């Protein structure tokens, strides 16, 4: 008699626990598994986000713009959005992304157009779309803009 897994083991452990091979992140998009142009990992993405948020809050909003971020908490978010639109729109990456070796690209590998950058930035600033992601590590903000974050 073969021992069948309990029904909770198939969904609590995820699809891989049920014996389903989904491939590596980015395989469906035609991206390599590792190296340049591979889908970026969560550590690099989180590091880049934290560095960008810190830079937008302290050096820029607090010191350069002389804003009290405790009372005007929307200013760092506006600076963060401006940084994303300006830098991702022209270079394909922000300061934090460059330090951590990642960039934003269209699904064909090209630099995202201005409209895609605006959509991505607006949804990124709402935070929730960035927290809902698919198996290719693309948040709703990336899916809506048809972009992906890849390694440099």
Q: What is the pLDDT of residues 85-112, one digit of tens each?
A: 999 999 999 999 999 999 999 999 999 9
Alpha helices in 13-113 (DSSP H): 42-55, 74-83, 89-90, 95-99
Distance CA 42, CA 28 (A): 18
Across the range 23-45, mean pLDDT stands at: 95
Across the range 137-143, mean pLDDT stands at: 95
Give the pLDDT band of residue 21 (cuts 50, 70, 90).
Answer: confident
Distance CA 39, CA 28 (A): 11
- Select from 119, 113, 109 the least CA-distant residue to 140: 119
pTM of the predicted model, to two decimals? 0.84
């Amino acid at each position: 008699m073969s021992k069948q897994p309990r029904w909770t083991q198939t969904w609590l452990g995820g699809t891989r626990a049920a014996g389903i091979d989904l491939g590596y992140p980015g395989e469906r998009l035609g991206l390599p598994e590792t190296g340049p142009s591979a889908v970026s990992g969560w550590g690099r993405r989180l590091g880049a986000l934290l560095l960008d948020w810190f830079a937008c809050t302290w050096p820029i909003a607090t010191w350069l713009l002389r804003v009290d971020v405790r009372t005007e908490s929307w200013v760092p978010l506006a600076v963060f959005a401006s940084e994303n639109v300006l830098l991702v729109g022209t270079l394909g990456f922000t300061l934090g992304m460059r330090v951590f070796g990642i960039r934003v690209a269209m699904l064909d590998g090209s630099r995202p157009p201005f409209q895609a950058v605006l959509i991505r930035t607006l949804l990124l600033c709402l935070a929730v779309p960035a927290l809902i992601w698919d198996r290719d590590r693309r948040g709703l903000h990336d899916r809506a803009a048809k972009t992906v974050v890849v390694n440099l």
